[in-house]
Structure 1
Amino acid sequence: MTKHDLEGIPETLLIALWARAAATQAENPIIHDEKAVEMVSQINYDFSRFEASSRYTKLGVAVRTRLLDDGLSTFLEAHPDAVVINFGAGLDTRHARLQCDTVDWYEIDVPESIELRRRFFTENDRYHFIAQSIFDLSWMDKVETAGRPVVFLAEGLFMYFTENELKQFFKELAERFPDAEMFFEMLGSAFVGKEKHHETLKQIDSQVKFKWGLKNTRQMESWHQGIQFVTEWNYFDYYKNQWGLFGMFARLPFARPRFACRIVQLHFASRQVANAA
């Protein structure tokens, strides 16, 4: 693969991949992702561009990876028959890392990302790749849930789309997948429009924008009667000594709502509950 094979938002998957690999190789690592280390060594891309200024990227990606791993693992322990649908999968290694071979799992991403993914991962009867945009809702007819619990994942994705795009998308999810659960990454609202100042995003060849992030996640409940906020985990509350002064500032009461990059858990209510709301 050359750097020209991924353009726009898909190129950002290489930042996350590199950050997981770098975090794995750090002293006292927060995560262990040896597959990411392997992939970085095999992809023809100048990953060295990220090394000079990457402290918060490595830490943020490591923390979000750990939080999502923990959230999903807890869900799957309670629902071992669940169907996992991973939006914007990129080169995410969670399926292998959590040893989810017995789980029906769908990786959804645009064709160029899935093409790269196929170099390192193989589909089987329980592990499926869907090569299309998540906004092409025909993917909904390709996943087989058969009344089982459904859990959605979205990491490093929604911040690149507008609120109007996401509102319609979440409405469709709530309508088509009542009783489903979702874990996703929410960008702090202070970072919307500040992509030129992001330490690693400004190093890639493509120009992408941070378009969405909320101070109050509960605002999403107004998008559809079936959307229910469950909980969220603020990155800056974890590994506090590694965030330094910036983390101390981001945890201050006046700054916290705007700077809170976090993992959010939502529930999509059953139709009966949603209609009664």
Structure 2
Amino acid sequence: MSKLGVVEDTLFIPMLGRLYASQHCPQILHDEKALQLKGQLPPGLLEQKGQSQYTLLASAVRSANMDRFIRAFLERRPDGIIVQLGCGLETTYHRCDNGHTRWYAVDLPHVVEYRRDLLPEPERETYLAGDAFAEDWIRRIRADVPDAPILVTAGGLFHYFEEAKVVGLFRMLQQFGKIQLVFDAVSKSGMSMMRKRYMKQVGHADARMFFYVDLAAELAGKIGGGAEVLVQEPYYCHIRKDGLQFFTKVSMAVSDRWCMVKMIQLKL
């Protein structure tokens, strides 16, 4: 784990959220693989460092939402391919694999190297090192599966990039056949709240955020080329809230009422 200093900030916050949910709120997410890996993680990184239940669960809810979209996609398209952009240490394969789907996990080279140390490649999941915004990874996948329908997931990835770069990625993917994309996004007001509260609590108060989506239909119009909104839904709308702290419930309700954070599924 020689690369720990390089990747710890971006990798372990989501892992910490999945561990918290698995131990305290399994009705939201139970991640057995994350629990198995807990003993291999540096103890200092497992400290909650002032996070609230709400901030801890925000990452777990993202994973739970992605799981739901992936399972629904594979039910509709059993021949489908799953691609995780900015995979980090996500363990989605171990929660959602159906026994025959091909999976790909894409991230920067040093992240993929660290991931391999902790999570060796399973039988049908291929790790690809590269830039999520370059086309190398999708060319490689299309060389393997020229015609298969693809679901690309991008959790917690786009907030930190300019809109032009994100839209450019979506347009690029339109050149590679049948692709759907699922991602989480904040509204303009949600971004302001995220900067003030969430990023401060998780230790990233200086993080710069750029990309937000108020209406998915407006984003689809900017992408052009026939991009279609399949789903836009409030982030917490499918999450069981029984047993959660009062502040957590209120925060989730406010977020959903004003659609500050949302899940979006596009057909490109």
Q: TM-score, normalised by structure 1?
A: 0.83
Q: 1:246 aligned to 230, 247, 251, which one?
A: 251
Long gaps (5+) in structure 2: none
> Displacement, 1:194?
5.3
Alpha-carbon offset, residue 196 of structure 1 = 4.5
**In the TM superposition, what whole-angstrom CA distance separates every residue of 1:178-207 from its partner, at most 9, and x where no partner exists?**
x32121111232232555534465544795
Aligned pairs (5 A) from 1:67-78: 67-78=65-76
Change (3 A) 1:75 1:137: same
CA distance in 2, matches of 1:125, 1:27: 30
Q: Which residue of 1 aligns with 2:196?
A: 197
Give the paired residue count: 259
Q: Which residue of 2 aligns with 1:38?
A: 36
Structure-2 separation of matches of 1:206 and 1:251: 23
The answer to whether the Cα contact below 8 Å between 2:195 and 2:205 also exists between their aligned partners in 1 is no
CA distance in 1 between partners of 2:174 and 2:58 (Å): 29
Residue 185 of structure 2 aligns with which residue? 186
Q: Which amino acid in 2 is paired with 1:189?
A: K
Distance 1:210 1:72, change over 3 A: same
- Describe the SS at the equivalent of 1:86: strand
Give the conservation status (yes or no) of the 8 Å contact 1:196–1:202: no
Task: Give the conservation status (yes or no) of the 8 Å contact 2:86–2:155.
Answer: yes
Contact 1:107 1:129 in 2 (8 A): yes
Deviation for aligned residue 1:146 = 2.4
Aligned match of 1:271: none
Q: Deviations over 1:70-118 (max 9, x none)?
A: 1111110121111111100111101111134411111000011111110
Contact 1:88 1:109 in 2 (8 A): yes
Amino acid at match of 2:161: F
4+ aligned runs moved over 6 Å, structure 1: none
| 1:172 alignment counterpart | 172
How far apart, CA to CA, are the structure 2 residues paired with 1:78 and 1:133? Answer: 29
Q: Which moved more, 1:34-43 or 1:208-217?
A: 34-43
**Identity percentage over the alignment?**
24
Amino acid at match of 1:44: P
Aligned to 2:229: 229
Residues 211-246 of structure 1 show CA distances to partners (whole Å, capped at 9, x for unaligned) of 211111111111222210011231232335644333
The DSSP-based 3-state class of the residue aligned with 2:263 is strand
Q: Quick check: 1:53–1:200 contact (8 Å CA) kept in 2?
A: no
CA–CA distance in structure 1, aligned partners of residues 206 and 110 of structure 2: 17
Distance change in 2, residues 1:149/1:206 (3 Å): same
Q: What amino acid does structure 1 have at the position aligned with 2:267? A: H
Distance 2:185 2:16 in 1: 21
Q: Is the 8 A contact 1:21 1:33 kept in 2?
A: yes
Once residues 192 and 254 of structure 2 are traced to their aligned partners in structure 1, the CA distance between those partners, rounded to angstroms, is 20
Across the aligned residues of Structure 1 and Structure 2, the Cα RMSD in angstroms comes to 2.4
Gaps of 5+ in 1: 269-277
Letter in 1 for 2:251: F
Counterpart of 1:263 in 2: which secondary structure?
Answer: strand
After the TM superposition, which residues 105-124 of structure 1 pair with which residues of structure 2 at under 5 Å, given as runs? Answer: 105-123=103-121
Distance 2:207 2:48 in 1: 16
